[in-house]
Homo-oligomer: A and B are copies of this chain.
Amino acid sequence: MTQRTVHVLTDDDALFQRFMRLGDVWSVLRLQGPERLDALPAESLVVLDTACAGLAATALEQWQAWSARLLAVVVSSMPTDDEGLYFLDAGASGYSHAYAAEVTLRQILDVVVSGEKWVGKSLLNRLLAGLQQARENHTDKRTVLLTGREREVALLAAKGQSNQLIAETLQITERTVKAHLSAAFEKLQVSDRLQLALKIHGIPH
């Protein structure tokens, strides 16, 4: 059996460990920064974590350039149909919850390596529902991707911390915490912190 190499770009150690455990079929390497993507040979399999610091600021054009050369699987710890559309539009080969079951992750990599695209059933249903409708509305980066601060606050809230505690932790006012959380709620299409926690931790409702 041939061994494929997959390059993972993430700031999340736990996430990287998950890929390390995928099995001996996969040789897993960690990318140290987005700039290394350009140095990879064409058709390389890469996994990109949207929460990665260097990626949030990346322009759509850059995504398209990468996607054209590489097999990019975008993973998010807070997946959204809109975000998925954004990256698949940009040319990504796959989009998934970062903490999907390991069997699913293996399946995704297998599918992508074989040249197909991997689209989760949630997004797939939406695409089938009406492609023209999805196209004219969203797919706008700033209404989809969390900013760094929003992500920080969202993760703390998902761990069960109160607004007040988050404020103390980050040395900002509770009001600001609320602002970031409200923004995160909208972008992630959830209504409150519990739904946020469930989504972030990959628990289906």
Segment among A42-50, A107-115, A137-145, A192-200 that sits at the interface with chain B:
A192-200
Assess the B205–A159 pair: CB atoms within 8 A.
yes
Asked if A203 CB lies within 8 Å of chain B CBs, one says yes
Whole-angstrom distance from the CB of A202 to the nearest CB of chain B?
Answer: 9
Asked if A33 CB lies within 8 Å of chain B CBs, one says no
Assess the A160–B195 pair: CB atoms within 8 A.
yes
With beta carbons under 8 angstroms apart, the residue of B197, B203, B205 that contacts A194 is B197
Asked if A69 CB lies within 8 Å of chain B CBs, one says no
Chain copies in complex? 2
Assess the A160–B201 pair: CB atoms within 8 A.
no
Chain A residues with a Cβ closer than 8 Å to the other chain, count: 11
Whole-angstrom distance from the CB of A156 to the nearest CB of chain B?
Answer: 11
Q: How far is the CA of A197 from the CA of B159 in the complex (A)?
A: 10
Residue of B nearest to A192 (CB): B160
Q: What per-residue 1/0 map shows which CB atoms of A154-190 lie under 8 Å from chain B? A: 0000011000000000000000000000000000000
Chain B residues near A201 (CB-CB < 8 A): 198, 201, 203
Q: How far is the CA of A146 from the CA of B190 in the complex (A)?
A: 30
Instruction: Give the residues from 122 to 161 in chain A that come closer than 8 angstroms, CB to CB, to chain B.
Output: 159-160
Chain B residues near A205 (CB-CB < 8 A): 159-160
Chain B residues near A197 (CB-CB < 8 A): 194, 197-198
Q: How far is the CA of A193 from the CA of B159 in the complex (A)?
A: 12
Chain B residues near A159 (CB-CB < 8 A): 198, 205
Q: Which residues of A contact B (CB under 8 A)?
A: 159-160, 192-195, 197-198, 201, 203, 205
13 other A-B residue contacts (CB within 8 Å) besides A194-B194, A197-B198: A159-B198, A159-B205, A160-B192, A160-B194, A160-B195, A160-B198, A160-B205, A193-B194, A194-B197, A197-B197, A198-B201, A201-B201, A201-B203
5 interchain residue pairs of minimum CB distance? A160-B194, A160-B195, A201-B203, A194-B194, A160-B198
